[in-house]
């Protein structure tokens, strides 16, 4: 197993994506906690660590964390929106510290739409500058894209744009929107139907395959990507029996995940891919079991392909698997009995976040005035304003997500923050 652990360095961000899966809480991991977590990953013989957030580049101890993980022989990756890496010197600092691999989140090559999705003017320009700087370093670069209602019709065009502009990027990751967590619980209109995704995603996967590039797709059932089933994140983890531990900075605390299936419909019972398929991710009721269709192909070539890939996968090494039943006390807080949930197992649910509370939350000043707002559009632009930008067949929310509409509705991020603080005060 090439297991990889996740550390949320901070939970604030310099952008404001409407579908953010980990919106702001006022907590962060300090260097002592990070070292302790890295020691734990190392003791478990994990292959690497992914530094994430919030926006991890906002952590003041990021270079030290990278350096320590490298000292422990962990492969060090980071997921970022790229905004701070538009600063060449900052990018070089992280490269010098030993950062090996970066996933830059970019959701569309259309500047206005990217601004809308990230809630941040100029976000695509910053990300492009970051990619240019990263191309001058030894750091491997991947692109992360959240599939949503507004980009699902031109995923393939975005791939063409990347191939032309940044030909050194060879690996792409699509995460289908999870409408059950984070800011998307309030902004459900970002969720796309599977049938809206299928055509463009198929073209995009074929384009990457034809050009010798690789990709992974998460939260898309195999009936929507049977041609490239071996590239499903869930299928690969099922076949490889992988696990992962995530140290969240919210009331989820520390989560160890060992199961990768989601939900299945009756038709799945006759599907030959059932044993290797992650199924339907419909926790937010955004996806419909009626959209699933059983496959009647042999699963063995898919499994063989994944097993063969292992031998050439740089993330793979033979590790002595240590089946640890508990999470170290340093990260548990008050552990409570956890049970199987949909697709995951909580080895240790903490009563309070493992991180510390920021004395002075480093939120964007605009949002400090109104931390609930998801209110920014470039010059009043709405995605439906550009015929080009959104499939006209899509239904958009009755009210566009503008200030007057959204500011009055508390978002999930505020509720998480308040709950965390209340929980913390109860346990102190
Ligand atoms: S029918 Fe069910 S098991 Fe088969 S590919 Fe679709 S989601 Fe997976």
Q: Which of 102-106, 258-262, 278-282, 326-330 has the lowest mean pLDDT?
A: 326-330
Distance, CA of 285 to CA of 180 (rounded, Å): 8
Does residue 373 line the site of ligand 1, with CB under 6 A?
A: no
Does residue 263 line the site of ligand 1, with CB under 6 A?
A: no
273 pLDDT more than 50: yes
pLDDT of 312: 54
The CA 364 to ligand 1 mean position distance, Å, reads 42
Does residue 264 line the site of ligand 1, with CB under 6 A?
A: yes
Q: Around Cβ 271, how many Cβ atoms within 10 Å? A: 22
Task: Return the best residue to mutate from 265, 268, 289, 298 for the ligand 1 pocket (most ligand atoms within 8 A of CB).
Answer: 268
Task: Return the best residue to mutate from 274, 288, 290, 298 for the ligand 1 pocket (most ligand atoms within 8 A of CB).
Answer: 274
Does residue 279 line the site of ligand 1, with CB under 6 A?
A: yes
The CA 222 to ligand 1 mean position distance, Å, reads 6
Instruction: List, in sequence order, every beta strand (DSSP E) within 151-191.
Output: 171-176
- First-to-last CA distance in the chain? 38
132 pLDDT more than 90: yes
- Nearest alpha carbon, ligand 1 atom 7: 279
The CA 43 to ligand 1 mean position distance, Å, reads 37
Q: Which two tokens stand for residue 418?
A: 């308040």
Distance, CA of 221 to CA of 69 (rounded, Å): 34
Instruction: Give the confidence band of 112 by pLDDT, cuts at 50, 70, 90.
Output: very high
DSSP code, position 126: H
Distance, CA of 255 to CA of 45 (rounded, Å): 17
Q: Output the average pLDDT for the chain.
A: 76
Does residue 130 line the site of ligand 1, with CB under 6 A?
A: no
- Nearest alpha carbon, ligand 1 atom 6: 223
On whether the CB atoms of residues 276 and 234 are closer than 8 A, the answer is no
The CA 232 to ligand 1 mean position distance, Å, reads 12
Which atom of ligand 1 is nearest the CA belonging to 295? 4
128 pLDDT more than 80: yes
Instruction: Give the confidence band of 8 by pLDDT, cuts at 50, 70, 90.
Output: very high
Distance, CA of 173 to CA of 369 (rounded, Å): 34
Distance, CA of 298 to CA of 397 (rounded, Å): 41
R_g (Cα) of the chain, nearest Å: 21
Which atom of ligand 1 is nearest the CA belonging to 221? 7
Instruction: List, in sequence order, every beta strand (DSSP E) within 4-47.
Output: 4-8, 27-28
Q: List, in sequence order, every residue forming a beta bridge with 18; answer none if it has no partner.
A: none
pLDDT of 341: 29
pLDDT of 344: 31
The CA 200 to ligand 1 mean position distance, Å, reads 20
DSSP calls for 391-404: -TTSPPPSS-S-HH
Task: Return the best residue to mutate from 294, 296, 297 for the ligand 1 pocket (most ligand atoms within 8 A of CB).
Answer: 294
pLDDT of 423: 45
Does residue 268 line the site of ligand 1, with CB under 6 A?
A: yes
Instruction: Give the confidence band of 408 by pLDDT, cuts at 50, 70, 90.
Output: very low
Highest mean pLDDT among 260-269, 381-390, 411-420: 260-269
For the entire predicted model, the pTM comes to 0.74
Domains of the chain, each with CATH number or no CATH: 4-363 (3.20.20.70)
**Mean pLDDT of the region 375-398:** 38
pLDDT digits (tens, 9 = 90+) for 16-73: 999 998 888 888 899 999 999 999 999 989 999 999 989 999 999 999 999 999 999 9
Highest mean pLDDT among 204-213, 250-259, 413-422: 204-213
- Nearest alpha carbon, ligand 1 atom 2: 268
pLDDT of 188: 82
The CA 271 to ligand 1 mean position distance, Å, reads 6
- Nearest alpha carbon, ligand 1 atom 1: 294
pLDDT of 391: 33
pLDDT digits (tens, 9 = 90+) for 79-90: 999 999 999 999
pLDDT digits (tens, 9 = 90+) for 297-321: 999 999 888 888 765 554 444 333 3
The CA 279 to ligand 1 mean position distance, Å, reads 5
pLDDT digits (tens, 9 = 90+) for 339-368: 322 233 222 232 233 455 444 333 333 333
Q: Around Cβ 60, how many Cβ atoms within 10 Å? A: 12
Task: Return the best residue to mutate from 273, 298, 343 for the ligand 1 pocket (most ligand atoms within 8 A of CB).
Answer: 273
């Amino acid at each position: 197993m090439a297991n990889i652990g996740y550390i949320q360095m901070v939970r604030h961000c310099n952008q404001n994506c409407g579908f953010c899966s980990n919106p702001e809480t006022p907590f962060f991991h300090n260097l002592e906690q990070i070292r302790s977590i890295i020691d734990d990953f190392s003791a478990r013989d994990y292959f690497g660590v992914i530094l994430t957030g919030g926006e991890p580049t906002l952590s003041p101890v990021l270079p030290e964390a990278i350096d320590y993980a490298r000292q422990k022989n962990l492969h060090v990756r980071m997921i970022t929106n790229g905004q701070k890496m538009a600063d060449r010197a900052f990018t070089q600092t992280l490269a010098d510290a030993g950062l090996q691999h970066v996933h830059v989140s970019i959701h569309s090559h259309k500047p206005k739409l990217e601004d809308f999705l990230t809630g941040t003017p100029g976000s695509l320009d910053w990300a492009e500058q970051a990619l240019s700087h990263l191309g001058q370093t030894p750091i491997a670069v991947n692109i992360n894209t959240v599939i949503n209602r507004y980009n699902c019709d031109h995923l393939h065009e975005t791939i063409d744009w990347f191939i032309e502009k940044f030909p050194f990027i060879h690996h792409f990751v699509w995460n289908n929107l999870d409408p059950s967590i984070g800011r998307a619980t309030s902004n459900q209109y970002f969720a796309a139907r599977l049938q809206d995704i299928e055509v463009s995603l198929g073209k995009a996967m074929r384009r990457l395959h034809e050009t010798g590039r690789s990709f992974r797709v998460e939260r898309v059932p195999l009936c929507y990507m049977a041609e490239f089933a071996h590239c499903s994140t869930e299928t690969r983890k099922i076949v490889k029996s992988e696990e992962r531990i995530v140290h969240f900075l919210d009331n989820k605390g520390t989560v160890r995940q060992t199961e990768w299936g989601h939900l299945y419909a009756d038709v799945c019972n006759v599907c030959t891919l059932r044993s290797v398929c992650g199924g339907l991710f419909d926790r937010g009721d955004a996806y419909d079991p009626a959209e699933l269709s059983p496959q009647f192909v042999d699963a063995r070539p898919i499994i063989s392909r994944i097993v063969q890939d292992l031998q050439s996968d740089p993330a793979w090494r033979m590790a002595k698997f240590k089946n640890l039943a508990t999470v170290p006390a340093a990260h548990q807080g008050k552990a409570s009995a956890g049970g199987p949930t949909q697709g995951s197992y909580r080895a240790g649910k903490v009563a309070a976040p493992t991180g510390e509370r920021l004395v002075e939350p480093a939120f964007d000043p605009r949002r400090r005035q109104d931390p609930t707002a998801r209110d920014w559009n470039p010059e009043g632009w709405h995605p439906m304003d550009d015929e080009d930008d959104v499939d006209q067949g899509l239904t958009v929310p009755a009210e566009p997500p503008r200030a007057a509409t959204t500011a009055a509705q508390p978002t999930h991020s505020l509720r998480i923050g308040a709950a965390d603080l209340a929980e913390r005060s109860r346990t102190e």
